[in-house]
Amino acid sequence: MFCFVDFRNRPQYKYTFHSREKAREYLRKIQNNPLGATVIHADGRREYFASGVPANLLKSGSDFQIEKGCHVKYKIRPLAVLDGIASNRSKGKTSNISNWKSLKSSPLFMLGNLKFSACLLIIALSAFSFTYLFQKNFGRSAMAEEVSALKGRDLASGEKNSGGIVLGATDSRVDDSNNQLADDSNPLQLADEDIVMNLIAKIDDEQHADFTNEILTYLKGRPMENMAPYIAKQPRIVAAFIVGIAMKESKFGTYAPHDANGNDCHNYWGYRGPENTTASGYSCFATPEAAIQVIGRKINKLVAGGISNPAEMISWKCGSTCSWDDPANVRSWIADVGINFYKLNNKQNS
């Protein structure tokens, strides 16, 4: 199977084909379709409609532009098995792929999904606990049988020899073995808990390292580079806003305020707050970590209040209302912040 991907490398599930040749043929068809139209939204998204713009979209009152023809840079790539797994996909979006829309796989099995990772961890812990209990009980039973057999041999030997000396030695060995089993049980239980905690810590460290490296692909060689480990500790959507706004406001720290002594204020977002303000009114932070703590806390509150994309985050630029600002500047801010925001926030697992 093959599908179209847009200029942000997002799969377009309504365009899926059994062969690359069919995909190329259909791509040429929509590019030459005289009735086709492209809707360009304020946040930079583009949608192509083969039969013209739907009436319900025109009545919605949303801010968008309409261009005649196909203005989405579609590419063709193989469709991975997990690309098609999504929940509650509407029939309108999959009307031309009747075979594909019948697949009803659970979103638990999407790679990167926290539910999927949690399921794997629970299964692994259950298997480990079962194995531990089985070995513990089976090993104790086998040890008891071995001690019983040894005691029987010693009894037979004692009948040939004098007096119960061998029996006394056998009882001592049995007691020692049982005591050793009892003493060893507690350390095994403690080790079990330590292994689980170490496993969870290792998974967290690996995820943090992976996210840090992902962020560094945007910040490498820029003044903001040393903030990557602190940004990676934030939720993914917050980290995406931090990187997206910094690119628009300061080119990742290339243009930023300095204090009276000429030191970098580590303020790459045009943030004006109460923290050690400069003469121009910008906040000045002592360290990169302190900067991310303040900016992250501010964006976290906005996200908790319902902000989920650059168009809704425009209050960062012009406050409670943008009526005083040039609409062209507002659209430019949304589009520029969206460039890196959508790249970093393309995994819906924050």
Q: What is the pLDDT along the chain (350 residues), one digit of tens a residue?
A: 888 888 777 887 778 888 888 888 888 888 787 778 888 888 778 888 877 778 777 777 777 888 887 878 788 888 765 554 444 444 444 444 444 444 444 444 444 566 777 878 899 888 888 888 777 766 666 666 665 665 565 555 554 444 444 444 444 444 555 555 445 555 545 456 777 667 777 777 788 899 999 999 999 999 999 999 999 999 999 999 999 999 999 999 999 999 989 999 999 999 999 889 898 889 999 999 999 999 999 999 999 999 999 999 998 988 877 888 888 999 999 999 999 999 998 855 44
Provide the β-strand partners of residue 258: 264
Q: Burial, 4: exposed, middle or buried (Cβ in 10 Å; 0-12, 13-18, 19+)? A: buried
Question: Are 227 and 338 contained in the same domain?
Answer: yes
Question: Are 94 and 131 contained in the same domain?
Answer: no
Strands of the chain (E only): list them.
Answer: 2-5, 11-17, 37-41, 46-49, 64-68, 75-78
- Alpha-carbon span 63 to 26, nearest angstrom: 29
Nearest in space to 223 (alpha carbons), one of 246, 201, 242, 244? 246
Give the 3-state secondary structure percentages of the chain, helix then strand then coil, rounded to 5.
55, 10, 35
Question: Are 197 and 100 contained in the same domain?
Answer: no
Asked if residue 218 belongs to a domain, the reply is: no
What's the pLDDT score for residue 154?
53
Nearest in space to 288 (alpha carbons), one of 315, 313, 269, 314? 269
Domains contained in the chain, number? 3
Angle between helices 236-250 and 165-219 (to 10 degrees): 30
Asked if residue 18 belongs to a domain, the reply is: yes
Q: Other CB atoms closer than 10 Å to residue 188's CB: what's the count?
A: 11
Looking at 105, 133, 150, which one is the last position of a domain? 105
Asked if residue 212 belongs to a domain, the reply is: no
Question: Are 77 and 17 contained in the same domain?
Answer: yes
The domain containing residue 47 runs over which residues? 2-105
Question: Are 256 and 312 contained in the same domain?
Answer: yes
Question: Are 340 and 228 contained in the same domain?
Answer: yes
What's the pLDDT score for residue 81?
54
**Which residues, at least 6 apart from 38, have a Cβ–Cβ distance to it below 8 Å?**
46, 47, 48, 49, 66, 67, 68, 69, 70, 71, 72
Question: Are 329 and 234 contained in the same domain?
Answer: yes
What's the pLDDT score for residue 15?
82
Instruction: Let me know: does 5 contact 23? Beta carbons within 8 Å.
Output: no
Question: Are 233 and 328 contained in the same domain?
Answer: yes
Question: Are 290 and 202 contained in the same domain?
Answer: no
Question: Are 151 and 238 contained in the same domain?
Answer: no
Question: Are 200 and 269 contained in the same domain?
Answer: no
Looking at 178, 206, 234, which one is the last position of a domain? 206
Asked if residue 339 belongs to a domain, the reply is: yes
Question: Residue 220: which region, alpha, beta or left (left: phi > 0; alpha: psi -120 to 50)?
Answer: beta
Number of alpha helices (DSSP H) and beta strands (DSSP E) in the chain: 10, 6
Asked if residue 350 belongs to a domain, the reply is: no
Question: Are 168 and 241 contained in the same domain?
Answer: no
For residues 135-163, one letter each, b for 16 or more C-beta atoms within 10 angstroms of the residue's C-beta and e for the rest, the string is: eeeeeeeeeeeebeeeeeebeeebeeeee
Looking at 56, 79, 105, which one is the last position of a domain? 105
Asked if residue 302 belongs to a domain, the reply is: yes
